[in-house]
Amino acid sequence: MRARKNNTVDYLDSLDKEKQELVIRNAVRLGVIQRRKRRTKQGELQEELPKRQATKERKRSKQERKVLEKKIEELGADKIKEAFPELSEEKMSLIKELLGGRGVGAFIISSLQSCLLSSQLFLSVDM
């Protein structure tokens, strides 16, 4: 279809046999080179995309931790205990450490995320 539209076949027919073979050989050679470049580029993209996704996931996780830390700090330990009576003493001590500034926020938040974020109560607690 394309050869008919841009008159490639007519052009090739107008050439003598030697010139025609030369043009076709060069076209095939250039096509092989283009395919190699495209495959190389695709391989690079296949390597880059997971890296970008991992970076994006780390940023998202960091943002979620910050939001959760802020909510925990705004509520305070007493309101959290009232809102989540099912929290174990271990989790409450982690929260108190976070509020007291002694805990490492990322570690504490990651251990609390499953408990607090999965509970819809945390999102509906009035401040």
Local structure of residue 15 (DSSP, 8 states): S
Record the tokens describing residue 81, joined without a space.
């205990």
pLDDT at 97: 73
Render each residue's pLDDT in the chain as its tens digit; 127 residues: 565 677 888 888 899 999 999 999 999 999 999 999 999 999 999 999 999 999 999 999 888 878 877 777 777 777 777 777 777 787 777 777 777 665 555 555 655 665 555 554 444 444 3
Question: What does the pLDDT read at residue 107?
Answer: 55
pTM of this prediction exceeds 0.85? no
String of b and e for 70-100 (b: at least 16 CB within 10 Å)? ebbeebeeeebeebbeebeeebeebbbebbe
Give the Cα separation of 33 and 102 in Å (integer): 60
